[in-house]
Amino acid sequence: MTATRIDGKAFALKLRELVGASALEFAAAAGRKPGLAVVLIGDDPASQVYVGSKGKATLAANMNSFEHRLPDDTNAADLLALIERLNGDDAVDGILVQLPLPAHLDEQSIISSISPDKDVDGFHVINAGRLSVGQSGFVPCTPLGCMMLLTDRLGDLSGLEAVVVGRSNIVGKPMAQLLLDANATVTIAHSRTKDLPAVVKRADIVVAAVGRPNMIGKDWLKDGATVIDVGINRLPPEPGKEKGKLVGDVAFDEASEVAAAITPVPGGVGPMTIAVLLRNTLVAAYRNADLNVPAHL
């Protein structure tokens, strides 16, 4: 079998176009554009790039982008005051604080200060709680993007065996919750799981969110499995090259011999994250303006 390559890049592009068109409809109904505020503390080069591309994507989706770049030594009180101001600003529908934060700032207390109704990253404990009891809130962008790819590919997930490898609050746990809500039978595996290859081998759906290059090989996979690879790992550079290759947690070429469908890295889950962030921001805008969220979102 040669697996179908699940094209997250193309799916994300379509989602961004849909969100962009819907943002114009929102603006016509509400008399203002949706707005996303992104807060970056410090000068971490990767974070600078992420924030820059989020800003561009936000503008391209017909929304306002408000960037707040603060110095590395920003203290908690100043950051909390900024978030408080953004919480009260009617032009701001979504607030995203770029992680990781410098070590002197406590991530949990900063995230908790964001209004849950503007927490478009879905990291606030209230939104985690809403997801776990089945209330509508905001779901973290990466797992929601994985879920969109899965339902697009498989339709109804009822009764399928799903194994999520990784149990972080931002990927593994919400992913498992979404699969459970879709009536899959879900196992969450992690670094203490015994005989991980045998656990993964049971799965009709494998979601790998570990951060270990090419960990899952073809021997771990059931014939015909659908594989979603969240991992982003940079290999050491080959001689003469400045940067190493980006790979996922799944050995793509060999897994493709066994799986029915698989996301590549790059070009799979990665582009979905930012598209879902824009989608979440537009949903926040509709809710904040007391308008019905269109069903297609």
Nearer to ligand NDP, 214 or 288 (CB): 214
Give the active site residue among 93, 119, 121, 229. 121
Minimal distance, residue 45 CB to ligand NDP, in Å = 16
| 297 neighbors 22 (Cβ within 8 angstroms) | yes
**Annotation says 121 is catalytic:** yes
Residue 170 to residue 73: CA distance in whole angstroms: 26
Q: How many residues bind ligand NDP, per CB under 6 A?
A: 25
- Sheet containing strand 94-97, edge to edge, reads 64-70, 35-41, 94-97
**Annotation says 54 is catalytic:** yes
285-288: long-range contacts (C-beta < 8 A, 24 or more apart)?
285/23, 285/26, 285/30, 285/34, 285/35, 285/63, 285/93, 285/94, 286/26, 287/117, 288/90, 288/93, 288/117, 288/118
Q: Which residues pair with 185 in a beta bridge?
A: 161
What is the pattern of x (binds ligand NDP, CB under 6 A) and - over residues 211-230? xx-----------------x
**Annotation says 98 is catalytic:** yes
* Segment interacting with ligand NDP (CB under 6 A) among 73-81, 93-101, 189-197, 256-264: 189-197
231 binds ligand NDP (CB under 6 A): yes
Nearer to ligand NDP, 171 or 184 (CB): 171
| 274 neighbors 53 (Cβ within 8 angstroms) | yes
192 binds ligand NDP (CB under 6 A): yes
Site for ligand NDP in 156-175 (CB under 6 A): 165-168, 170-172
Nearest partner of 176 among 193, 157, 197, judged by Cα: 157
Site for ligand NDP in 257-296 (CB under 6 A): 269-270, 273
Nearest partner of 50 among 141, 178, 158, judged by Cα: 141
> Which residue type does 18 have?
L
Site for ligand NDP in 194-213 (CB under 6 A): 196, 209-212
Which residue's CB atom is positioned nearest to ligand NDP? Answer: 168
Task: Evaluate the CA torsion angle 205, 153, 155, 182 in order and state its sign.
Answer: positive
Angstrom distances, CA of residue 195 to CA of 191, 240, 241, 251: 10, 39, 37, 18
What is the pattern of x (binds ligand NDP, CB under 6 A) and - over residues 139-158? ---x----------------
245 binds ligand NDP (CB under 6 A): no
Q: Which residues belong to the active site?
A: 54, 98, 121
Residues that bind ligand NDP (CB under 6 A): 142, 165-168, 170-172, 189-193, 196, 209-212, 230-233, 269-270, 273
